[in-house]
């Protein structure tokens, strides 16, 4: 029994170790190993580090004890890990092979400008470490405190897990200065349970049920991650920055933004509360997720199940997604500036900084709020079934493919509204409106044509208008940063076809009923009068040509029997109908003679 107890005793094999350089410094109070391991001159199966402290740029790590077991490192190699040689921390970590490393408590302090962040990790366990790569990392709890000018913020995490953590590669991010390095995998899957954020005054709090993800990849930056973060913080804390410093901040931030990505990161079960004097409200978000690009699938950001409510208003959104968004043009444009102040940029340089939007999609959004500040008892309720914006395939910063859509936008018309359109709709008997709008156009590089795929407005129980068309002779010069070149290209563009479809779904009947009541007649009599007068009125406006007669007859039939009206126009000249045709026409009425117009009412 006495012999067994002696074998459990931990003699000190190394003491008061220190090494480092200007940005990194490591100190170890003692290296202890079991008496059994100490008896074996060439092995160190188990040992412990006590009073460990190392500084890594703005970060300081402190641990009273770090326990290593199952270490397959020769004694001489182990001692070299704690020597004062010039070997980098990443290279030292890459020599560690161990079955398990346990850190009962780790304190991390980070200072950036006037702010200090202190983190306390409890019961951290790293298992199956091979050449510094950790197969599994588990941290039972984490507590963080951020102090600054606005007071402290408290953050706590539950259980945290990380798989396949590549410590040497991760460390190199902070100590290596090389923006040209490729993205490398830092770790595999990870998860964080029960995140709680609260400010010291208790005015604001946020809870997250779970954060998880996989496949974080990253590369070093031009000044290393330590240098980049410190520089951004230093310059952003200044009350006034010079144009050169502003450019430097943008360049540094752009370098950092392009230095990492992930296969997936998502947070679920988010709730927040604001009890401050300025604003009181509560809210929740079911899920926030980022999915990285894979092959032909673009990156996507999604937010689902949004709900917010304060004392006066409420907001709900089913989902918000952004697909195909890219800041690569911005990053490349900033790099090309080479430190030039933003105030000295020409139009072409500014255009080069425009990011690619991709597709923004918002579904099931509803807003309920007071109609006006002086009318708190009157409410306005607006509902969007869908809002989608696409702007991609850019040329010189300008998207060549655009689409904007709003579906089922509905709102109640207030009886006391000052809006003229709302008053007119109410006069026609409408209590609410439900409308949709679509605009879609794309430029074809091979044919030099812009196709207006759709320009439409559709309102329930009112009607719809839909326009499609084709514009030819649109060269790439239209997207030139030079305004004169773009203007010349615009003048040279020519319309090749246009199609307009008008459908009535109740507006004509309501208008006739209202007008007939005001004039003391019947809707049928008024309808017959309007139908008969239309050709005469139209000919007086646009001339008595074949085209005007065709239009007048079709519109008259549409008024007589409101249904669907289709108008098609094509230029008689195969080259198209351009801006110069309009500018050189001596009489606007003669313009119709250059068009072939067909119209029909159904």
Q: What is 92-137 written as a DSSP string? A: HHTT--EEEEEEEEEEEEEEETTEEEEEEEEEEEEEEEETTEEEEE
> Tokens 């302090």 belong to which residue?
109
Q: Are 319 and 363 in contact (CB under 8 A)?
A: yes
In Å, what is the CA distance from 21 to each residue of 57, 178, 405, 432? 10, 19, 58, 71
What is the model's pLDDT at position 76? Answer: 65
**What SS3 state is found at 472?**
strand
**pLDDT of amino acid 39:** 45
Six-digit token string for 342: 């933003």
Q: How is residue 195 written in tokens?
A: 């995140």
pLDDT by 10-residue block (mean), the chain, 602 residues:
47 69 76 58 69 82 91 68 70 87 93 82 96 95 84 90 95 87 94 91 88 95 84 76 80 85 96 81 95 87 94 92 88 75 77 88 92 72 93 92 94 77 85 93 95 95 94 93 90 91 93 90 91 86 81 91 92 80 66 84 91
C-alpha dist (Å) from residue 27 to 11, 53, 132, 195: 19, 5, 19, 32
Closest CA to 260 of 216, 228, 295: 216
Residue 221 CA from chain centroid, whole number:
22
Output the pLDDT for position 25.
Answer: 78
pLDDT of residue 454: 94
pLDDT of the residue at 2: 46
Output the pLDDT for position 294: 84
pLDDT at 158: 95
- Res 84: pLDDT: 61
Cβ neighbours of 461 (radius 10 Å): 13
Beta strands in 352-462 (DSSP E): 358-372, 375-395, 398-412, 432-444, 449-459
Q: 308 by DSSP, 3-state: which?
A: strand
Pairing of strands 115-130, 59-69: unpaired
Query: What per-residue confidence (pLDDT) applies to 345?
Result: 76
Please tell me the distance from the alpha carbon of residue 549 to that of residue 537, in angstroms, as a whole number: 11
Q: What is the pLDDT of residue 381?
A: 85
C-alpha to C-alpha distance for 445 and 476, rounded to whole angstroms: 8
Cα–Cα distance for residue pair 406/384, rounded to 1 Å: 7
The DSSP bridge pattern shows strands 190-199 and 204-218 to be antiparallel
Quote the CA–CA distance of 455 and 464 in Å, as a whole number.
Answer: 11
Q: What is the pLDDT of residue 162?
A: 97
- Cα(111)–Cα(145) distance, integer angstroms: 12
* DSSP one-letter string for 268-300: EEEEEEEE-SS-EEEEEEEEEEEE--BTTBPPE
For residue 186, count CB atoms less than 10 angstroms from its CB and return exposed for 0-12, middle for 13-18, buried for 19 or more: buried
pLDDT at 4: 45
Give dist(CA 333, CA 315) in Å, integer: 37
Alpha carbon distance 229, 350 (integer Å):
26
What would the two tokens of residue 347 be? 């139009």
Nearest to 433 by CA among 363, 389, 383, 365: 383
Report helix angle 546-560 to 523-542, nearest 10: 170
pLDDT for the residue numbered 285:
97
């Amino acid at each position: 029994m006495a012999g067994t107890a002696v074998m459990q005793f931990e003699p000190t094999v190394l003491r008061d170790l220190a090494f480092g350089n200007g940005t990194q410094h490591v100190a170890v109070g003692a290296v202890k190993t079991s008496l059994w391991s100490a008896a074996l001159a060439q092995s160190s199966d188990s040992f412990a580090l006590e009073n460990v402290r190392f500084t890594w740029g703005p970060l300081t790590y402190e641990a009273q004890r770090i326990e290593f077991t199952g270490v397959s490192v020769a004694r001489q190699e182990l001692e070299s890990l704690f020597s004062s040689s010039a070997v980098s921390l990443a290279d030292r970590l890459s020599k560690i092979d161990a079955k398990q490393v346990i850190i009962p408590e780790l304190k991390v302090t980070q200072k950036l400008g006037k702010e200090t962040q202190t983190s306390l990790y409890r019961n951290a366990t790293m298992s199956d470490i091979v050449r510094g790569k950790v197969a599994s990392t588990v941290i039972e709890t984490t507590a963080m405190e951020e102090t600054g000018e606005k007071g402290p913020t408290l953050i706590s995490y539950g259980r945290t897990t990380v798989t396949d953590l590549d410590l040497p590669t991760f460390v190199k991010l902070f100590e290596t200065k090389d923006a040209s390095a490729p993205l490398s995998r830092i770790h595999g899957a990870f998860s964080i349970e029960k995140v709680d954020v609260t400010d010291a005054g208790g005015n604001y709090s946020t809870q997250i049920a779970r954060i998880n993800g996989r496949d974080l990849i990253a590369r070093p930056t031009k000044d290393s991650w330590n240098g980049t973060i410190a520089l951004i913080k230093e310059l952003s804390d200044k009350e006034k920055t010079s144009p050169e410093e502003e450019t430097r901040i943008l360049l540094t931030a752009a370098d950092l933004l392009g230095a990492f990505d992930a296969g997936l990161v998502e947070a679920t079960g988010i709730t927040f509360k604001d009890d401050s004097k300025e604003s009181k409200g509560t809210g929740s978000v079911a899920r926030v997720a980022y999915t990285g690009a894979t092959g032909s699938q673009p990156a996507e950001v999604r937010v689902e199940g949004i709900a917010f409510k304060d004392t006066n208003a409420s907001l709900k959104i089913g989902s918000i997604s952004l697909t195909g968004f890219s800041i690569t043009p911005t990053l490349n444009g900033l790099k090309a500036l080479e430190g030039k102040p933003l105030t000295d940029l020409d139009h072409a340089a500014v255009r080069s900084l425009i990011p690619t939007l991709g597709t923004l999609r918002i579904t099931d959004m509803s807003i309920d709020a007071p109609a006006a500040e002086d009318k708190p008892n009157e409410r306005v309720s607006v509902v969007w079934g869908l809002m989608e914006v696409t702007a991609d395939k850019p040329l010189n910063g300008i998207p060549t493919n655009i689409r904007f859509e709003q579906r089922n936008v509905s709102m109640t018309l207030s009886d006391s509204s000052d809006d003229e359109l709302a008053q007119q709709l109410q006069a026609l008997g409408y209590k609410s409106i439900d409308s949709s709008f679509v605009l879609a156009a794309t430029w074809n590089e091979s044919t030099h044509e812009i196709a207006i795929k759709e320009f439409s407005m559709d309102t329930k129980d009112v009607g719809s208008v839909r326009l499609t068309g084709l514009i030819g002779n649109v060269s790439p010069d239209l997207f030139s940063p030079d305004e004169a070149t773009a203007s010349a290209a615009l003048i040279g563009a020519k319309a090749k076809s246009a199609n307009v479809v008008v459908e009535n779904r109740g507006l004509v009947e309501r208008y006739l009923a209202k007008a007939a009541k005001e004039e003391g007649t019947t809707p049928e009599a008024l309808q017959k009068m309007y139908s008969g007068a239309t050709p005469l009125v139209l000919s007086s406006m646009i001339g008595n040509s074949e085209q005007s007669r065709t239009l007048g007859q079709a519109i008259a039939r549409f008024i007589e029997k409101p249904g669907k009206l289709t108008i098609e126009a094509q230029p008689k000249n195969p080259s198209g109908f351009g801006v110069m045709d309009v500018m050189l026409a001596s009489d606007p009425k003669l313009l119709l003679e250059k068009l072939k117009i067909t119209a029909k009412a159904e």
